[in-house]
Amino acid sequence: TSSSSSVCNDSNEKAALIDRLIDSNMIRFMLLISRQGKTRLAKWYVPFTQKEKNRILREIVAMVLARPRKLCNFLEWRDFKIVYKRYASLYFITCTDNADNELITLEIIHHFVEILDKYFGNVCELDLIFNFHQAYYILDEILISGELQETSKKSVLRVCGAQDSIVEDEEFSGKNKRQPSIRDYF
């Protein structure tokens, strides 16, 4: 009976852990939207169908763009909170759990913007349009599964610089190699 009770305890502990993971505070998604309502970046940390994503985007963009600039940057939406901040012509929008601290979420947004600024040298909307893959890479260095993972700007920039070097090396070595011809296969 002691082995059956330990199995029961193990399964209860696993169930409790799963409940904690499901209920953990996290960012559900992050959006970068232009003043015209165009999506410049959309990172989803919770699975949604494409139809749901489109509906969510329409709802949130309509809510945020309709608000005057002087109003609070926090909105209640469904069972979540929308925390957003406008920088120049872009809105940085996050969806968080109701229990999350809005000010910490604003700091995460600001942290992301500061790193983008340092990486691109005074980031603008065009940087994000033409270098969206780098913006996603930076965001992935800061947030993993909707949780803040890296608070050091220097660390994020160092990793991004190393990634850029690897890409440049691969591009350079690819240009110096002879391209295979059809004759190589016969």
pLDDT along the chain (186 residues), means of 10: 51 56 74 96 94 95 94 93 95 94 95 96 93 95 94 94 87 65 54
| Predicted structure pTM score | 0.79
| pLDDT (0 to 100) of residue 159 | 93
Distance CA 90, CA 67 (A): 14
Q: Residue 46: count other Cβ atoms within 10 Å of its Cβ.
A: 11
| pLDDT (0 to 100) of residue 168 | 85
| pLDDT (0 to 100) of residue 96 | 94
Alpha helix locations (H) across the chain? 2-23, 50-66, 102-120, 125-130, 132-142, 153-176
CB 41 within 8 A of CB 136: yes
Nearest to 82 by CA among 29, 43, 38: 29
Give the N- to C-terminal CA distance of the chain in Å, as an integer. Answer: 70
| pLDDT (0 to 100) of residue 170 | 81
| pLDDT (0 to 100) of residue 169 | 82
Q: What are the residue ranges spanned by the domains of the chain? A: 26-168
Q: Name the DSSP letter for residue 180.
A: P
Q: Which fold has domain 26-168?
A: Beta-Lactamase (3.30.450)
Structure-block tokens of residue 3: 């082995």
Instruction: Please report where in the chains the tokens 């600024």 appear, as a residue.
Output: 117
| pLDDT (0 to 100) of residue 185 | 52
| pLDDT (0 to 100) of residue 6 | 47
Cα-based distances in Å from 170 to 69, 84, 140, 159, 177: 45, 38, 22, 17, 11
Q: Apex CA 110: angle with CA 105 and CA 116, to 5°? A: 130
